[in-house]
Amino acid sequence: MDAPTAFLAALLVAFAAAAAAGAVTTRMIRLSAKRAAEEFQRDGEANRRLHDQRTETYVDFATTAAQITDAVTLWPATPREARPDVLDQARAHLRELHDQHAAVLLDSGPDVQAAAAVVVAECQRLVDGLDLDADPAPEAMLLAARGRELTLPFLRACREYQEAELARYFGVAVRRAPRLSTR
């Protein structure tokens, strides 16, 4: 066999091997994509678990904020000797609120995130305003007295986000989905 013929034969063998490898690679990619789609495809039960987990995160966040506003509301009636413990509890609730805020930020929309940031800022301001020797400022007392109203915009945003997610998942408007209470 002369050199040009040998070169062409080797080139054909290389092209055939590359084509076979390409076919095998294509087949492997298709099978991998199909398997990944089957593994990661969400079913109704997985969506329900995700919905329940989000709801629990949102409720825990609102409950912790309410505990902070309750502590500030009761501050004037708290005996002076009990105030250090109440202040420590309020600060612990604030740290917990910051941790829960991170969880809310991870799995929510921009409206929920904005409402949660307002709740955290107001609670931070309330706890920072507590003084062991003095009652809170009147505007802080007014905000704390309306404590449940502080979380209402957050809970409304959460409800709207949850309903939008359910509608996106199921492709239709969900009217009978479990709702977060805003009372």
Kindly tell me if the per-residue pLDDT of 40 is higher than 50.
Answer: no
Between 149 and 11, where is the model more confident?
149
- The pTM (predicted TM-score) of the whole model is 0.67
Q: Which amino acid is present at 145?
A: A
Angle formed by the axes of helices 138-145 and 147-170, nearest 10°: 40
| Model confidence band, residue 28 (pLDDT cutoffs 50, 70, 90) | low
Sequence-distant (≥ 6) Cβ neighbours of residue 86 within 8 angstroms: 71, 74, 75, 78
Let me know if 153 is exposed, middle or buried by CB neighbors in 10 A (0-12, 13-18, 19+). Answer: middle
